[in-house]
Structure formats: C-alpha cells, structure tokens
Structure 1
C-alpha cells in the first residue's frame, strides 16, 4: 500500500465515524485525485487503483463492524487474485467514489467487487479474490462469517465472477 497518509487518516478519523452496513451491504468511500496520484498522461495512474481499493476494503471491514475482531485476532487480509476493467480515466483533482461489496465466497476465498465512479460515470470495475490469514494459517470462512453475525445464505455470484474463477483454475492447472 503506497497511500500511507490516506491510510492513517482512514484509521484516525474515518473508521471511528463510519456507518454500519450489513455483511452483504455496499460500502462507499470518497477520495480525490491528487497530483501525485497521476502519471505522465495526467490522469489517475493504473497502479493507484488497487491501492485505493486496499483502503476501500479496509473501510468495508470497519463498516461491517469487524475491525475490532480483525485487530484483536490479528487477521490479515491477503489478495490472491484481482482483475480490472478500466472504462475511462479519472482526471486530476476529480472526486471519485469506490463502492465495495462482497459478492460471494466458496470453501476458501471471498470475492469482492469494486466500482469506481465520478459524476461523469463508471470508470473501473474490479474483482478481488482473497483470504484472511492468522499466524501463517488461513482463517476459516465460517469463522469470519460468524464474527460478522451473518446467518443468511451464500449469495449467488455474478456470472463474470464464476467465469473468472474458472479462468483462474485453468491457469493454475496449465502451469503446475
């Protein structure tokens, strides 16, 4: 993560004042593109998108009410895979919003969707697959779901995430 000041601000101010959402709710956080976030093309550089999404996932955990459990149990989020679709650029000083939500899980991974948009429309859709680790071992999915107090059914994953999972499995099989 290369947005240290924004990360510190997130912990000092924003997490303490965030609203609560359900486990399958959508988290929303706003940022503004600063000059150091831009590349030579004078727009938000591609490497900043995943960094901002790191912050958005941290905020999602806080809004779900899981931050204390994460800190107490020393659970660490680890991204296993990510895919990005860039639609249009975000200009310097432009305000943008990241909507983040869990779209599903399987026996090992959580699948999270990010949507970045401005007043001009949608700019990026990304899907992230991740696990949570503690002392070198994976935290069981059931443990995390129980900590969130979620008792509902596993949501049906979007078709594009199902296809992406199949693609990741194929890559793994072909490169063993």
Structure 2
C-alpha cells in the first residue's frame, strides 16, 4: 500500500510539472528523498532488499515520465544487482540518486546510489527493457544516440552470461 501511495503522489507531481517544465536530458540524475517508515522495515529490523527495489522503481518511473515519448510506453526490469555497504534504519532519510549509465539497442542501464546523510549505504545497477503494447521497443525511442557502454556494465554482462552457463541445480 505504501508503494502505491508513493507512486500516486509521484504521478500527480509529474503530471502537474509536465506542462510547466521543459524535458530534462536523459542523462540527468533523478534525485528523490524517502523517509524509512515502519512498514519499510523487515523482520530483522533493517530495510530489506525489496524495499530498495521499490524505491528504484519509483525513480525509473519518474525518469521515463520525464522523457515523455508516449504515455503508453512502459518498462520491465530485466536484471538488478544491489551491493550493500551500510545498513539503513527506521526513520532514516534516504536520498536516492539514479542515472542512466549506458544503453544498447535493447536495454537501458541505470546506476542507483542510496545515501543517508553523507554515507553511501547501497549501490545498485538495473537493466530495463522498454515495452509498448507488449512488444519490446528499441532504446532509440528515448535515446537518439549510438550505443553507450561503460566498463561496469561490460563486467556485469559477462557475469550474467557466466551465470546462465551454470549447470542447473538438481
């Protein structure tokens, strides 16, 4: 319920800003602040990974809505990786910075940083695919430039390919 409420607030704010502001660059960082509330906490008294993923989804949705290619353009997470550096606790104010790091013909790659005060708590990578009418769309509907890569993304892709080659667990 909390995520739904945060999503609705985000959509209302962005729709009201749509008419007022110019379209930001696709490489601009999305910065949002979240307060860790009791329902964001896991049973071991810290923020579980699924809550971080929910915050990431809100930032990606904001980025896509600001790009405004069409209201019907959606997206699906193809892969994510989170690296925990430090725990976040109840009532901490999280600052999430998300930025498009790289892209190819099919995927957009984002880097996310979760900060509490001046401490980096979590770093994440997200690979998404754009969707329209249940069909995968090329990234060129948003990014009209040639592919851009990054060494971190190349290493991540190599790791994902090796994972796919593993023998199934029996």
Shorter-chain TM-score range: 0.7 to 0.9
Equivalent residue pairs, number: 165
What RMSD, in angstroms, separates the aligned Cα atoms of the two structures?
Answer: 2.3
Counterparts of 1:143 and 1:40, CA distance in 2? 42
- How far residue 156 of structure 1 moved from its aligned partner, in angstroms, is 3.8
**How big is the shift at 1:171?**
2.5
Corresponding position of 2:105: 107
Q: Which residue of 2 aligns with 1:161?
A: 153
> Which residue pairs with 2:119 in the alignment?
121
Mapped pair 1:16 → 2:13:
no
Q: Deviations over 1:153-173 (max 9, x none)?
A: 54441x222111111122234
C-alpha distance after superposition, 1:7-30 (max 9, x if no partner):
111111255348753111111011
SS across alignment from 1:3:
helix
Q: From 133, 139, 142, give the equivalent of 1:141.
A: 139
SS at match of 1:161: helix
Gaps of 5+ in 1: none
- TM-score, normalising length from structure 2? 0.86
* TM superposition score normalised by structure 1: 0.83
Cα deviations across residues 65-118 of structure 1 (Å, max 9, x unaligned)? 324x331xx211100111110111111111111100111112221111111101
Q: How does 1:1-176 map to 2 (within 5 A)?
A: 3-14=3-14, 16-17=16-17, 21-62=24-65, 65-67=66-68, 69-71=69-71, 74-146=72-144, 151=145, 154-157=147-150, 159-174=151-166
